Amino acid sequence: MIPLRDVLLWPPFQAAQPLHLLSPERLENTHIRWVHSSEVADIADLLHGGELLLTAGTTIREASREVLSRYLFALVRRGVAALAVETVDWSEAQRALLTEHAHIANIPLIELRNSAPFVDIAEHTNSMIVNKQARMHVVVDELSRKLAELISSSLHPDLGHIMELIAQTLDAQATLYDHSGEVLAQSAAKLTTKDTEESGKARQRADAVVVIAGNITATLEISATTQPVELLQSAASRTAEVLSIALAHLLRPSSSHIVEQRLIRAIMEDALYATLANLWDRANVPLGPFAIFVVRPFNSGTLNTSVYTAVRKILGHGAMDSVGTDLIGVIPLPDAGTRAAREKFAASLNSIATKFPSRAVVGTLSWNQTFAYLSYTDAVAVLNDEHFSNAGVIDSMRHYPTRALRNLENQYFSRSYIHAQVEPLRLWDEKHSTQLVDTLTMWLDCACNTTETAAVLHVERQTLHKRLTKIFELLEGDPRHDADLLGLHLALRMSQLRTEI
C-alpha cells in the first residue's frame, strides 16, 4: 500500500487539478492497495477493499439521490480507500450533490476538474505498489528465516527472545497477548535512534492472531514509528503463523476459552435449553438477563484482533468467540438497572467500533437462555440490513419499529391495506399540494395531542384543526372512534417509509 498523498503529487494526477476536502490527518492516513477504473454501477461487488477507484462518473452524474447514495455506501462497505471522479463537464449542482453524499457516506472524494489519463495513473501507481510489496517481502522473509532458526534451536523457545528478534529486525516494539488481553511477552521498551529522530510521528500498529487447534490463543501486536503499517501487518501475519506451529505446546487454549467457544456455537445453533444451561454454568456466565452482541469489521477481511482485545476488556464475566470475520458474545446484565447496564455496554462497544472501524449490534434483551438464539439472529439481521451501514453500534431494540414496518411493507397484503387507508389523503395532497398524510401521522405519533403536534409541525393550532377537519372528512369520521386506530397508524408509517426507500 502507498499513501494517497503520494498518488496525488504525481504530475499527471496534478494536471487533472485534483480537488479534495480531506483533512491533513485523513489524507496522511489514507493508503491505496490498488488503483482501478470503472464506469460500472455495481462495481463494489468486484472490488476487494483498499482501492483508489477512478471514474468518469457516467453512471452517477445524472443519478438520483437514492441511487447515488447506494453507490457510495456500497463502496464504503467494500472498504474502498478513495473515489476519484472526473467532473469536467458537471454542473455545480451535480458536484454539490456528489460532495454532499460522499460526506454522508464518509468516503474520501477527489474531484478531477481536468481530464485525467486513467490508464497512465493506474499503471504508474500499481507499479509503485508492486515494487514496494516486493521490498517488504524480502524483509518479512528474512524475519521468518531468523525466527525459524531461533525456534528450532531450542525445545522450549523463550517468548521474550522471540519478541526481541521481531523488534530488532523491524526496528519496532513487539508484544504477545493471551486471549484475555494479558501480556505474555514483550520486547524491551526502548527507543531506537530512528524513533528518537522521528518521535513526532504517530506509532503505526498491526496485529495478528495465533491460532492453535482452531482456537484464537494469543494476539501478536507490532508497532513502530518508522515502518509502514502494511509491512508491520505482513510481518505480524507471517510471524503468527510460525508461532502457532512452533509454540503449540506453550500456548494451548485454556479450558475456559474452549468452553466459551462451545457456548457461542451452541447459541448460534439454537441448542437445547439443557445444553445451553450446562455451558452457561461451565463458562461462569452469571444467570439472569443478558444480550447477545455481534461485531463485524467494515471490510471483508479478517477480524481486527485489536477489537477482540478491546472488547474482552469490557466484557466482564461474559463469553465471546470469533466466528469467521464476526466476533460474537454474550454480555450478562444485572437484575437491577438492566436496561441502563445494556445501554452502558453498548456505549463502550460503540467507542471500540468507531476507533477500529467496525459495525456492531447489541441484540434484544433476554431473561432466559432459550431466547439467546433469537437475540443472536436479530443482531445478525440488523448487521445484514443495508440500511444500517455506518461504523459504530446499532441497538436492535431501538430500530425494531422501523424494521418491522419494512418487513410488513414487503408483503402484498400490506400494500393493499396502505392503499385502502391512505389513498384518499394522498390524492388530496397530490391535487392541492397539502400535507395531510404527514399531519395525520404526526398527530398519531403525538398520541392525538393537538398542542404537541402543532409545536412539532411548527404550525398554528387553528391551522392544525383545519387540517384535521379535512382529514376526518376524507376518512369519513374521527379515527379515534374507530377500533382500528393502530391499523391506520401503521398504514401511514408504512406509506411514509415507502417514499423514503
Tens-digit pLDDT profile for residues 139-164: 888 888 888 888 776 656 778 888 99
Mean pLDDT score, 450-457:
91
Task: pLDDT band for 132, please (50, 70, 90 cuts).
Answer: confident
Cβ atoms of 421 and 491 within 8 Å: the answer is yes
Cβ atoms of 21 and 109 within 8 Å: the answer is yes
Residue 440 has pLDDT above 60, yes or no: yes
Mean pLDDT score, 338-357:
89
Per-residue CA distances from 311 to 221, 267, 329, 345, 445 (Å): 16, 19, 9, 10, 38
**Rounded Cα gap, residues 451 and 460, in angstroms:** 9
| Predicted pLDDT at 398 | 78
Cβ atoms of 319 and 329 within 8 Å: the answer is yes
Cα Rg, the chain, nearest whole Å: 28
CB within 8 A of 369, min separation 6: which ones?
273, 276, 277, 280
Look at residues 373, 371, 395 and name the one whose alpha carbon lies nearest to residue 383.
395
Mean pLDDT score, 492-497:
76
Task: pLDDT band for 192, please (50, 70, 90 cuts).
Answer: very low
| Predicted pLDDT at 496 | 73
Per-residue CA distances from 421 to 81, 192, 465, 488, 494 (Å): 47, 73, 21, 6, 11
More confident residue, 246 or 194: 246
Residue 39 has pLDDT above 70, yes or no: yes
As given in the structure block, the three cell numbers for residue 369 are 437462555
| Predicted pLDDT at 329 | 94
CB within 8 A of 332, min separation 6: which ones?
285, 286, 288, 289, 290, 316, 317, 318
Per-residue CA distances from 252 to 211, 332, 343, 370 (Å): 9, 27, 35, 32
**H or E stretch at 452:** helix 450-457
Per-residue CA distances from 309 to 184, 204, 335, 391 (Å): 13, 17, 27, 18
Mean pLDDT score, 387-405:
75
Cβ atoms of 363 and 372 within 8 Å: the answer is no
Residue 404 has pLDDT above 80, yes or no: no
Residue 461 has pLDDT above 80, yes or no: yes
**H or E stretch at 477:** none
Task: pLDDT band for 409, please (50, 70, 90 cuts).
Answer: low
Average pLDDT, the chain: 83
More confident residue, 338 or 324: 338
| Predicted pLDDT at 199 | 47
**Rounded Cα gap, residues 178 and 284, in angstroms:** 19
Residue 115 has pLDDT above 80, yes or no: yes
What pLDDT, in 10s, does the model give residues 357-389? 888 999 888 888 888 998 899 888 888 876 666
Residue 196 has pLDDT above 50, yes or no: no
| Predicted pLDDT at 191 | 45
Q: Is 288 left (phi over 0), alpha (psi -120 to 50) or beta?
A: left
Residue 423 has pLDDT above 90, yes or no: no
| pTM flag (> 0.75) | no
Mean pLDDT score, 308-319:
87
Residue 291 has pLDDT above 80, yes or no: yes
Look at residues 65, 112, 107 and name the one whose alpha carbon lies nearest to residue 90.
112
Mean pLDDT score, 288-317:
80
Mean pLDDT score, 20-45:
85
Burial pattern 245-283, b for ≥16 Cβ within 10 A else e, equals ebbeeebebeeebbbbbbbbebbbeebeeeebebbbebb
**Chain-centre distance for alpha carbon 235:** 25
Residue 500 has pLDDT above 70, yes or no: no
CB within 8 A of 165, min separation 6: which ones?
143, 146, 147, 150
**Rounded Cα gap, residues 462 and 473, in angstroms:** 17
Least confident residue range of 176-180, 251-255, 274-278: 251-255
Residue 65 has pLDDT above 70, yes or no: yes
